[in-house]
Amino acid sequence: MKKKKILMIGTGGTIASKITPNGLDPQLTSEEILAFIPGISEICEVDTLQICNIDSTNIAPDIWVLMTDTIREKYEQYDGFVVTHGTDTMAYTAAALSYMIQDSPKPIIITGAQKPINMEITDSKTNLFDSFLYASSDSASGVQIVFNGKVILGTRARKTHSKSFQAFSSINYPYLAIIQDGRVISYITKEKAPAPRFYDSLDAKVALFKLTPGVDSDILAYMLERNDAIIIESYGVGGIPSAPEYGYFEVINHWIGQGKTVVMTTQVPNEGSDMEIYKVGHELKSRVNILEAYDMITEAVVCKLMWILGQTQDPARIKQLFYTTISNDILY
C-alpha cells in the first residue's frame, strides 16, 4: 500500500524550543524536529516547510493568512498537513483555519507540546507521531488538533491546563477519535467534501470584553469605538448589568447603530449561553440587536467574526453567517 505524503509546516512553539538564559525560545526548524522521530518514515512520507519560528504568543491574523496560503499552494501535492505550533494560541489557530479552509477532504492537523522535543521527558514525540498517524488515516479530514492521544475538532478546542500534558479539552463536543498504542480509534467520522474552500481575508478588529463586577461601561465604549466587533464574555448563561447607572444598554445600542457587531458569550467553559433565562439577558436581547454565541467557544467566536467581517459588513449577512454552522461550531 502506497504511503501517504504529508507536509509538516513549522511555526515554532514549545516543541521547537531550546533552553536559553532568558527561558524557552523557539529555535529548532521543522527538519530538525522531524529528526527526533525517525520512525515516522514507516507511516508516511514527510516533507518539511518552515514558515515562521515564533512563540505562539506572537501569533496574529496575518500568520493565519500565511498558513492558509501555504496550504492552498501545496494542497494538490500532499495527502495531508501537520502544523507544529505553540500551545498557548493553538486553539485560536485551529479555529481560524477551520473558517479559512472549509470542507477540506484532506486532514490539516495542528499539534505541539508542553515540553520541547529535545528534553529527556517530553510529550513532543508522542504528539507528533500521533499527528502523522492520524493524518495518514483514511478517515481523517478537515482541521483538528491532535494532542495527548485525543483528536479535537478545530472549532471546539480549548487549552485547559497550562503545564500538564493533557493540555487541551473538547468543549461542548465529543472527541473525534483517540489514539492508543499506535492505533486510531475513531468515534465520529463525516463524509468528505469533494474540494476545499479557501478564504484569505480576515478583519483583525475583533476584541474581547470580559465582564467583571463593577467594570465601567466606558471601557466597552472605548473598545467598540476602535474595533468592528466586540465579544462580551459575560457571567453564567449571559447578561449585562441592567441598573441604569451602569449605562451598558445605551452604549451597546449606540454602537450597534453605528454599524458595530456585538456578540454575547459566557465565561463558563461548558454548556454555553442562554440569554432567555434571566431578565438581565432577556431584556438586553429583546431591546438590542445583539448576537448570541450559544454553545460556541470564545476562540471560535473570535475567529469566526474575523472571517465574517473579512467577507461582508452588511449586518443581515453578518447575522446569517454567524448562525450558519461551520465545522460543527454551533449546534444549538
| Within a domain: 300 | yes
Tell me: do 54 and 80 sit in the same domain: yes
| Within a domain: 24 | yes
| Residue 231, helix vs strand vs coil | strand
Tell me: do 44 and 67 sit in the same domain: yes
Contacts of 76 (CB under 8 A, 6+ apart): none
Using H for helix, E for strand and C for coil, what is the string for 157-200?
Answer: EEECCCCCCCCEEECCCCCCEEEECCEEEECCCCCCCCCCEECC
C-beta of residue 108 within 8 angstroms of C-beta of residue 142: yes
Tell me: do 155 and 82 sit in the same domain: yes
Q: Note the pTM of the prediction, 2 decimals.
A: 0.96
Tell me which residue range forms the domain holding 248.
Answer: 206-322
C-beta of residue 239 within 8 angstroms of C-beta of residue 256: no
Q: Tell me, what's the pLDDT at 287?
A: 87
The tens digit of pLDDT for each residue in 24-52 reads 999 999 999 999 999 999 999 999 999 99
Evaluate if residue 259 carries a pLDDT over 80.
Answer: yes
CA 106, 55, 25: angle at the middle one, nearest 5?
125
88 is annotated as contributing to ligand binding? yes
The tens digit of pLDDT for each residue in 260-298 reads 999 999 999 999 999 999 999 998 888 889 999 999 999
Q: Tell me, what's the pLDDT at 216?
A: 94
- Closest Cα partner for 111 from 187, 15, 42, 6? 15
Catalytic choice (14, 68, 122, 265): 14
87 is annotated as contributing to ligand binding? yes
Alpha carbon separation from 193 to 28, 36, 46, 105, 140 (Å, rounded): 35, 34, 24, 5, 12
- Closest Cα partner for 111 from 14, 217, 243, 234? 14
The tens digit of pLDDT for each residue in 89-126 reads 999 999 999 999 999 999 999 999 999 999 999 999 99
Q: Tell me, what's the pLDDT at 245?
A: 86
Tell me: do 214 and 105 sit in the same domain: no
Q: Tell me, what's the pLDDT at 25?
A: 95
Tell me: do 270 and 145 sit in the same domain: no
Provide the number of structural domains found in the chain: 2
Tell me: do 151 and 243 sit in the same domain: no
C-beta of residue 159 within 8 angstroms of C-beta of residue 139: no
Catalytic choice (11, 84, 87, 122): 87
Tell me: do 12 and 160 sit in the same domain: yes
| Within a domain: 26 | yes
Active-site annotation holds for 14:
yes
Residue 225 is part of a domain; what is its CATH number? 3.40.50.40
Alpha carbon separation from 124 to 38, 128, 313 (Å, rounded): 13, 6, 42
